Amino acid sequence: MADRPLRVLLDGTPLLGSRTGIGRYTAALSEELASMSDVDLRAVAFTLRGWRKLRHVLPHGVRARGMPVSARLLRQTWLRSELPPVELFAGSTDVVHGTNFVLPGRLRAAGVLTIHDLAFLDAPDELAPSDRDLPELVRRGVARANVICTPTAAVADAVATRLDVDRDKIVVTPLGVNPAWFTARPPDDGRRAKLRLPEKYLLFAGAAGPRKGLDWLARTHASAPDLPPLVFAGPGPFERLPRSGQTGYLSDVDLRTVVAGAAALVLPSRDEGFGLPVLEAMASDVPVVCTDIPALREVAGDCATLVPYDDVDALAEALRTAVTDPHATATSTARRTHAANYTWRKCADLTVGAYKKAMER
């Protein structure tokens, strides 16, 4: 293989539709892999409708593979066997990378599986009906994978312990911060009016969901009328609260502007695998308040204010301090320097290392 590029087949299904965390990870990783001369990247989408759209959302030069196929039916068969192997409709490859918790069945290729968090184990009752089989699918994928990728050491340790995996089989591939975040600017009057943003606001950026701690945030905000209004940016549905607003799903450009204009970003999650908005806010020199849980502790370093989960008084006080003294926790230089340590190129390099390790196992 020394005289030819490494052939990688990526699950590009997360690239379709509105992208949240996993979609953004898959997009940024595929961009970096596509730029590497020693990687021949292809992508496949598992969907009955819309699979043809994959070719339009891939980086230049990356080939789309696939055929109309029900993801639900594939998952049911992959629960029991390697059939049908993904090579059947995507061609021969060296490595198959399951980017979104599920490792496709394969014939001869090495298998790499990314596990972003363990929410599917912690709160299986919160899974969508279509994901009811996800815990068993992940367990099967973990057993069949040659290498597992996780975004943080916190998730790696949890996977090793709770899914009974040799820690040596896990490679930590931290996510990156797009360079555009470091030049993000607050919204001008026109964009502020278009997005209906108040002059000063606290921001939650991300998808709504039970594990995001939004009930806690709502109770905290209601208890502290001195705090600025609360803005939710991302795909909802979000509960409509007094002194709050919603932007809905934003383009990358608008999201950067909304984050850069915030008085503080708050991520009150009960559970996270990484917490990319934390770093993106830091790159924009916005104070960050987040929950004191392992992954966020690891990613935030000493540049954010960490609060015990569900402590209303502590969260209110942390937000109050962030608004009145934005550099109480970290200077602008410290925030930006910390965020700059996380690049998508580094993520891709570590992922290619995982591919090569998978082929050796």
- The per-residue pLDDT for 2 is 58
Whether the predicted pLDDT of 335 surpasses 80: yes
CATH 3.20.20.70 fits 179-340, yes or no: no
Average pLDDT over residues 337-344: 98
Is residue 67's pLDDT more than 80?
A: no
pLDDT more than 90, % of the chain: 76
Chain segment 2-46, per-residue pLDDT in tens: 578 999 999 999 998 877 789 999 999 999 999 999 999 999 988
What value does the mean pLDDT take over residues 125-132? 80
Domain ranges of the chain: 6-176+343-360, 179-340
Same fold: 6-176+343-360 with 179-340: yes
pLDDT digits (tens, 9 = 90+) for 168-191: 999 999 999 999 999 999 999 999
Calculate mean pLDDT across residues 271-281. Answer: 97
Q: How far apart are the C-alpha atoms of 77 and 68, rounded to whole Å?
A: 16
Q: Can you list the alpha helix ranges (DSSP code H) found in 61-213?
A: 71-78, 87-90, 119-122, 134-144, 153-162, 189-194
- pTM equals 0.93
Q: Say what the pLDDT of residue 66 is.
A: 74
Q: Judge whether 21 and 209 are in contact, CB under 8 Å.
A: no
Cα within 13 Å of Cα(328), Cβ side: 15
Residue pointed to by tokens 């596509």: 34
Confidence of residue 89 (pLDDT cuts 50, 70, 90): confident
Residue 33: per-residue pLDDT: 97
Interatomic CA distance for residues 103 and 79, integer angstroms: 10
Say if residue 92 is exposed, middle or buried (CB neighbours under 10 Å; 0-12, 13-18, 19+): exposed
Average of per-residue pLDDT values in the chain:
93
Q: Amino acid identity of 52?
A: R
CATH of domain 6-176+343-360: 3.40.50.2000
**Highest mean pLDDT of the ranges 44-53, 78-87, 272-281:** 272-281
What is the pLDDT at residue 1?
53
Choice between 70 and 212, residue whose per-residue pLDDT is larger = 212
Say if residues 286 and 311 touch (Cβ distance below 8 Å): no
Q: What does the DSSP assignment read for 188-255?
A: -HHHHHHTT--SS-EEEES---GGG-HHHHHHHHHH-TTSPPEEEESSSPPPP-TTEEEEES--HHHH
